[in-house]
Amino acid sequence: MTTSLFFNYTKVFPTHFPKHIHKTNNNRTPLFSIYSSMAEKSFKYVIIGGGVSAGYAAREFAQQGVKPGELAIISKEKVAPYERPALSKAYLFPEAPARLPGFHTCVGSGGERQLPEWYTEKGIELILGTEIVKADLASNSLTSSAGATFKYDTLLIATGSTVIRLTDFGVQGADAKNIFYLRDVEDADELVDAIKAKKDGKAVIVGGGYIGLELGAVLKLNNLDVTMVYPEPWCMPRLFTSGIAAFYEGYYANKGVKIVKGTVATGFDSDANGEVKAVKLKDGRVMDADIVVVGVGGRPLISLFKGQVAEEKGGIKTDAFFKTGVPNVYAVGDVATFPLKLYSEIRRVEHVDHARKSAEQAVKAIKASEEGKTVDEYDYLPYFYSRSFNLSWQFYGDNVGDTVLFGDNDPASPEAKFGTYWIKDGKVVGVFLENGTPEENKAIAKVARLQPPVEHVDQLATEGLAFASKF
């Protein structure tokens, strides 16, 4: 299984204040700070990055009894950590859309919503709207673009990923207006404004991965004329088999989403206002477009630490406790390359589930080390999921080996329900399921963890979910 389910095209965040920002909590202490030059602050713990991992790490620190003033989160974003997956789903809904503060961490896993006030109450300092431009791990020091210095005893790197942009490769016209990337809430706000401005217009999505599929659905819900373009023979080939992909491509087609496969965008035309008006494809076709959304992959944000930490497989090399080779420096989420115990391999995983769990593991390890104790090694079961239209799938385990498709995968079926088993060395190592109940999803997770032997592969096709339910 690949270490990432993002789609690389070939192989930063815009900043303006969002509409929803809480600068103070009535007459109490400011909930966040933007430090000017010459300022210097010291903390026992600093988290660099303000995404999902930061929110879950903060919760774990609070549960471990962090004292007021000991912990700071430094983030380029101007809002407290939030559940990023909402941006490609409910945030873009035409009716009753999700908005902050509704999806601050840690609601994505059923936990308490950590509003900015929560951090104040816990004595955790949110240093938002602050870009770190230099990290000197030898001197335990971080420097912001404004010249502020932040000292720490222990550093948790949670910088996540940045999107791959077509402008990075000099694609003609890729800097036109209304070409969007979706990584943070500000990106989502800009896309929402464009959807309203280009009502009933034409949208082209470049990329057939998570972002492509989820945005293809939600833009269609906004009554846009949607076309998806991707170079692969089917959508999400890093996870989906051709049989799995055939269902989703057929389902999307039935919803009116057009799909163009086997080609890429090589340029864009703009109108007199600089707004995109057409997408030029490598195969010679030209498609009209009022909105373009690009989802062609991401890169872990580790440039600050180049030459200071060991790297492997595109990320920062860590142990099973997410400790790097530099004393008192940990790395979690997208940026961490770690030992995946279940498969005795070193991997880097880009997914919200790992972002949450790796952050919790690192904080537990940090606190245990201070007390002369130990914690269990990180024993992660790879887990991926997505929701679009009325669909909802989950995958657990490893997608290597032979595959067996089971169930009803007819995209025209009103109650399609199907799945796939992956079998390697006579054992089930991975399971995919569309439209599973909570109990069924727990069952396939257990099978992926246990890796039971299979004497006859044909029995999996015949038994389907009944096989997983036996365990």
Residue 74's nearest CA partner among 113, 33, 14 is 33
Percent share of the chain, pLDDT over 70: 92
SS3 string of the chain? Answer: CCCCCCCCCCCCCCCCCCCCCCCCCCCCCCCECCCCCCCEEEEEEEEECCCHHHHHHHHHHHHCCCCCCCEEEECCCCCCCECHHHHHCHHHCCCCCCCCCCCECCHHHCCCCCCHHHHHHCCCEEECCCCEEEEEHHHCEEEECCCCEEEEEEEEECCCEEECCHHHHCCECCCCECEECCCCHHHHHHHHHHHHHCCCCEEEEECCCHHHHHHHHHHHHCCCEEEEEECCCCCCCCCCCHHHHHHHHHHHHHCCCEEEECCCEEEEEECCCCEEEEEEECCCCEEECCEEEECCCEEECCHHHCCCCCEECCEEECCCCCECCCCCEEECHHHEEEEEHHHCEEEECCCHHHHHHHHHHHHHHHHHHHCCCCCCCCCCCCEEEEEECCEEEEEEECCCCEEEEEEECCCCCCCCEEEEEEEECCEEEEEEEECCCHHHHHHHHHHHHHCCECCCCHHHHHHCHHHHHCC
Q: Tell me where in the chain the CATH 3.50.50.60 domain(s) lie.
A: 40-162+300-370, 166-295
Edge-first strand listing for the sheet containing 286-288 = 265-270, 276-281, 286-288
pLDDT at res. 458 = 87
Instruction: Say which CATH topology domain 40-162+300-370 has.
Output: FAD/NAD(P)-binding domain (3.50.50)
Q: What is the CATH number of domain 390-469?
A: 3.30.390.30
Residue 1's nearest CA partner among 286, 403, 466 is 403
pLDDT at res. 456 = 86
Residues (pLDDT < 70) of the chain are 1-38
The number of C-alpha atoms within 13 Å of 148 and in the hemisphere containing its C-beta is 18
Cβ proximity of 199 and 207 under 8 Å: no
**pLDDT per residue as tens digits for the range 377-400:** 999 999 999 999 999 999 999 999
Superfamily of 166-295 according to CATH: FAD/NAD(P)-binding domain (3.50.50.60)
pLDDT at res. 305 = 98
Q: Tell me where in the chain the CATH 3.30.390.30 domain(s) lie.
A: 390-469
Strands 202-206 and 225-230: parallel
pLDDT at res. 29 = 37
Strands 40-48 and 71-74: parallel
**pLDDT per residue as tens digits for the range 147-189:** 999 999 999 999 999 999 999 999 999 999 999 999 999 999 9
Angle between helices 242-254 and 210-221 (to 10 degrees): 20
**pLDDT per residue as tens digits for the range 85-104:** 999 999 999 999 999 999 99
Which pTM value belongs to this model? 0.91
